[in-house]
A and B are shown apart, each in its own frame.
Chain A
Amino acid sequence: MHRPDIDSERVIRIERDILAKNNDAARQNRARLAATGTLALNLMSSPGSGKTTLLVRAIEDLKAKFPISVIEGDQQTENDAERIRATGARAVQINTGKGCHLEAGMVGAALDDIKAEPGGLLFIENVGNLVCPAGFDLGEAHKVVVLSVTEGEDKPLKYPDMFAVADLLLLNKADLLPHLKFDVGKCLAAALTVNPHLQTLVVSAETGEGMAAFYAWIEARASLSRAAAVAQA
């Protein structure tokens, strides 16, 4: 018989969000980035979609206009950070070890190292994984998902979480399209089914095709971040 008066067992109502700690850290990151007018973009994709190549090209093309820093997430090695540093940008590598995604606390620690200059860009290259990073807010202004045309055109339907949380889809490696049976329209339609608010650009980090539109997208948002920081100050 259940005797609550003498029972040492009890039920505690909690109702706490499991991601609260990550979300708190993300909020702190967002406030720090806002104070310096830094536009932070969280780049996510499967391994091998060309994220680092895309970043290297974007940094080369934008570094005259913005101070740029990069946080690189990988399970192992400094290889990507070294590729980024070769462009002259500041880069901090986070090795997640067994971890499959970046969390806001890791990004906060990396921000301490980076000391971003005001009004700059911060690219956060997440661990190559089309699933896990989707659930973790890092404090970025926008999530950008990179998909390459050598992957299946139905990827947005197979991995909807990532496409649902992203603000921009970059369909990369467009220079390979003549050699592939990849239906760009079908892929973009799949992405828009999962997320009607998603913006999409078809690019090639190799040839530079479509990159100007990506830079225009960045510049428009960077000027908003700068203006907000000036208004706040």
Chain B
Amino acid sequence: MHEMSLCEAVVEIAVEEAKRNGAKHIRSLVLEVGVFGHVDPDALAFCFSAVSHGTLAENARLVIECIPGSGWCLDCAKTVPMTERFGACPECGRRHVQMSSGDELRLRELEVE
């Protein structure tokens, strides 16, 4: 359950940004989570309510946006969708693909009041 410590980081960053912007409460948070990240979105949601208790983010809505995987195929010289880390190119079948998205773990925005 490393999602617990990730959630602590999420709440810490969110509260810091909210205070800096003079907000009294955080209504929602938008997280971007790549499909290849080491994170289970359900576990994140579960941990979030526990970790945010007693902070500006208490009762805030956690929106998790899954970022699909994609990579640059060196042989096809274009961006192709990826379904697994180090997976083969869906068009040419070779494994010369460098992952370009799918590893994100980012707090994108806050809705505050």
Question: A195: which of B18, B86, B107 is its contact (CB, 8 Å)?
Answer: B86
Whether A9 contacts B113 by the Cβ 8 Å rule is yes
Chain A contact patch, size range = 20 to 34
Residue ranges of B at the interface with A (Cβ–Cβ < 8 Å) = 1-2, 4-6, 9-10, 12-14, 17-18, 21, 23, 27, 31, 36-39, 84-86, 95, 105-113
B-contact bits for A195-208, CB 8 A (1 contact / 0 none): 11000000000000
Query: Would you call A22 an interface residue if the criterion is a C-beta within 8 Å of the partner chain's C-beta atoms?
Result: yes
Known contacts A17-B105, A193-B86: A132-B95 contact under CB 8 Å: no
- In angstroms, Cα B6 to Cα A101, docked, is 12
Query: Chain B contacts of A21 at CB under 8 A?
Result: 9, 12
- In angstroms, Cα B107 to Cα A153, docked, is 37
Known contacts A18-B13, A164-B85, A194-B86: A12-B109 contact under CB 8 Å: yes
Whether B111 contacts A100 by the Cβ 8 Å rule is no
Whether B12 contacts A17 by the Cβ 8 Å rule is no
Known contacts A134-B38, A135-B38: A14-B110 contact under CB 8 Å: yes
Known contacts A132-B2, A134-B38, A161-B38: A9-B108 contact under CB 8 Å: no
Query: Chain B contacts of A164 at CB under 8 A?
Result: 85-86
Whether A194 contacts B85 by the Cβ 8 Å rule is yes
Whether B86 contacts A18 by the Cβ 8 Å rule is no
Q: Other CB < 8 Å A-B pairs besides A9-B112, A10-B111, A18-B106, 14 of them? A: A9-B111, A9-B113, A10-B112, A12-B18, A15-B106, A16-B13, A16-B17, A18-B31, A18-B107, A101-B2, A135-B38, A135-B39, A161-B85, A196-B86
Whether B1 contacts A14 by the Cβ 8 Å rule is no
- In angstroms, Cα B107 to Cα A3, docked, is 26
Whether B105 contacts A18 by the Cβ 8 Å rule is yes
Query: Would you call A131 an interface residue if the criterion is a C-beta within 8 Å of the partner chain's C-beta atoms?
Result: yes
B-contact bits for A1-20, CB 8 A (1 contact / 0 none): 00000001111111111111
